[in-house]
């Protein structure tokens, strides 16, 4: 990659395949389209205005190159992403104050407040609690011979864990587990509809009002939790503003569960569809950490991330101007045959380049290690207690209508009760 002056230049001499992130068939299986894009037009202008980048090398470079920034606070960027009313939409304004959408120095300041809480050492201390919650959730269904792995396990587990870290009172956690709402639809590549914006605004108001009440409680009575840490940063003045306090509490809640939910769901589906891989893990538990990396690669819970060019740059001989939007399609990069042998095959013994599912550079997912631990615990616990777990023959897994955050809405599973 090199900085150049922008010139008029075609993205490809071949006609790339259609790319519609709203198409149900694409959402069910985007990988054939990714392979075509990578082969025909690894850098291509999409109909909705973004440049799509599908190769591993280019995606990895974008994640670490400071020229590819976020710039979401810029009015032009906000209106291009979310429509002409963007600056008046509370949910969009809230999103623009999250560390996820910030560039340095604001990103550095915001992330620095919470980095220690998500260190590998600190999250490792949560493993016993994660195991206890996993067993409690499984206890509710073990005698029934089946459960919906999304509704009954993948959703509530990470929500309950992040609630503990944040300091959400125990009596309120059940409602969060039943409805772990996050405005993830705003991250999609196409501008949201009026109905989607209205729903996002209502969710921001509802969750925001709850957290505002909790902030006030922590001001009166500080505790050893993340919300107290953020409240104290706000009270320190320049470290955190009131809108940043609310926005980044919402983000931490989302970061603590959204990726993990989809890692667990997508991973268990992949293992059920490749039973020989499940059997390998059953016979050798030491492979489970490596298997988590392979599951992240095989069906990434985050399929893409968007950047805005802060200055001109060049990709694959194509000159891009400052201000243009570039999408690193992580799901495509993770199946690049130039990096991974037989990329469409799940292989829990694979020992190759780490996947880009958690991003990279300064925006590397702050909850990545916590997500890995939770997924490891789930697989270990299921192997311990229901090693014959499987999908019923009639099951048809369904994916959410969200391209960026790839995950299932339901995943029914059954097992032999005589064996538990």
DSSP character string of 26-58: HHH--HHHHHHHHHH-SEEE-TTSPEEE--HHH
CB 238 within 8 A of CB 89: no
Q: Find out if CATH 1.10.630.10 is the number for domain 24-419.
A: yes
Of 214-223, 342-351, 393-402, least confident by mean pLDDT is 393-402
Q: State how far the Cα of 235 lies from the Cα of 226, in Å rounded to an integer.
A: 14
How high is the mean pLDDT of the chain? 89
Q: Which residue has the higher pLDDT, 286 or 401?
A: 286
Contact (CB, 8 A) for 45 and 51: yes
Decide: 311 and 326 in contact? Cβ < 8 Å: no
In degrees, rounded to 5, the angle at the alpha carbon of residue 249 between the alpha carbons of residues 102 and 184 is 70
pLDDT tens string 69-84: 998 878 888 888 888 9
Radius of gyration of the chain (CA): 21
The predicted structure's pLDDT at residue 180: 58
Is the pLDDT at 47 greater than 70? The verdict is: yes
Q: State the pLDDT at residue 183.
A: 67
For residue 168, count other CB atoms closer than 10 A to its CB.
23
Give the pLDDT mean for 23-35: 94
Out of 2-6, 32-36, 311-315, 333-337, pick the least confident: 2-6
Structure confidence at residue 12 (pLDDT): 44
* pLDDT for residue 78: 86
The pLDDT of residue 415 is above 60: yes
Whether the ω angle into residue 105 lies within 30 degrees of 0, i.e. cis, is: yes
CA pair distance 102, 110, nearest whole angstrom? 9
Looking at residue 81, what is its pLDDT? 83
d(CA 239, CA 404): 31
Euclidean distance between CA atoms 320 and 311, whole angstroms: 9
186, pLDDT greater than 90:
no
Rounded to whole angstroms, the Cα distance separating 245 from 98 reads: 9
CB 277 within 8 A of CB 271: yes
Q: Is the pLDDT of residue 35 over 60?
A: yes
Convert 332-346 to b/e letters by CB count within 10 Å (16 or more is b).
bbbbbeebbeebeeb
Q: 22 with 190: CB under 8 angstroms?
A: yes
Segment 42-68 shows an average pLDDT of: 93
Q: What share of the chain in percent tops pLDDT 70?
A: 95
Contact in structure between 215 and 235 (CB atoms under 8 Å): no
What is the per-residue DSSP string for 80-98?
HHH-TTGGG-HHHHHHHTS
What is the reported pLDDT for 414? 94
Closest residue by Cα to residue 49 from 82, 72, 73: 82
pLDDT for the residue 238:
67
For residues 361-377, give the mean pLDDT: 94
């Amino acid at each position: 990659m090199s900085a150049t002056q922008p010139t008029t230049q075609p993205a490809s001499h071949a006609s790339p395949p259609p790319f519609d992130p709203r198409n149900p068939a694409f959402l069910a299986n985007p990988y054939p389209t990714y392979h075509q894009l990578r082969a025909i037009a690894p850098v291509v202008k999409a109909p909705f205005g973004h440049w799509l980048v599908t190769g591993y090398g280019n995606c990895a470079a974008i994640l670490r190159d400071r020229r590819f920034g976020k710039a979401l606070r810029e009015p032009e960027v906000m209106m291009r992403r979310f429509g002409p009313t963007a600056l008046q939409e509370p949910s969009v304004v809230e999103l623009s104050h999250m560390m996820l959408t910030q560039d340095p120095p604001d990103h550095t300041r915001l992330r620095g407040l919470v980095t220690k809480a998500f260190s590998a050492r600190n999250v490792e201390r949560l493993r016993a609690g994660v195991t206890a919650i996993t067993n409690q959730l499984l206890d509710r269904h073990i005698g029934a011979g089946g459960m919906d792995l999304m509704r009954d396990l993948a959703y509530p587990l990470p929500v309950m864990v992040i609630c503990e870290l944040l300091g959400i009172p125990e009596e309120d956690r059940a409602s969060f587990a039943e409805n772990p709402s996050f405005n993830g639809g705003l991250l999609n590549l196409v501008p949201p509809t009026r109905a989607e914006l209205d729903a996002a605004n209502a969710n921001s108001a509802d969750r925001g009002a709850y957290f505002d009440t909790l902030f006030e409680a922590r001001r009166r009575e500080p505790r050893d939790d993340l919300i107290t840490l953020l409240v104290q940063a706000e009270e320190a003045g320049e470290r955190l503003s009131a809108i940043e306090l609310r926005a980044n509490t919402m983000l931490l809640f989302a970061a603590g569960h959204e990726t993990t939910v989809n890692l667990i769901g997508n991973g268990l589906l992949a293992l059920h569809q490749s039973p020989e891989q499940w059997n390998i893990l059953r016979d050798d538990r030491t492979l489970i950490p490596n298997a988590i990396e392979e599951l992240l690669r095989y069906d990434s819970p985050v399929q893409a991330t968007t950047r805005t060019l802060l200055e001109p740059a060049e990709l694959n001989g194509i000159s891009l101007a400052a201000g243009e939007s570039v999408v690193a399609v992580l799901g495509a990069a993770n199946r690049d045959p130039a990096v991974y042998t037989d990329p469409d095959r799940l292989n829990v013994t694979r020992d190759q380049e780490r996947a880009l599912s958690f991003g990279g550079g300064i925006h590397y997912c702050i909850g990545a290690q916590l997500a890995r631990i939770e997924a490891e615990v789930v697989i270990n616990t299921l192997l311990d207690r229901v090693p014959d777990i499987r999908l019923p023959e009639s099951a048809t897994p369904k994916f959410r209508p969200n391209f960026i955050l790839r995950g299932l809405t339901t995943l029914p599973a059954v097992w032999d009760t005589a064996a538990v």
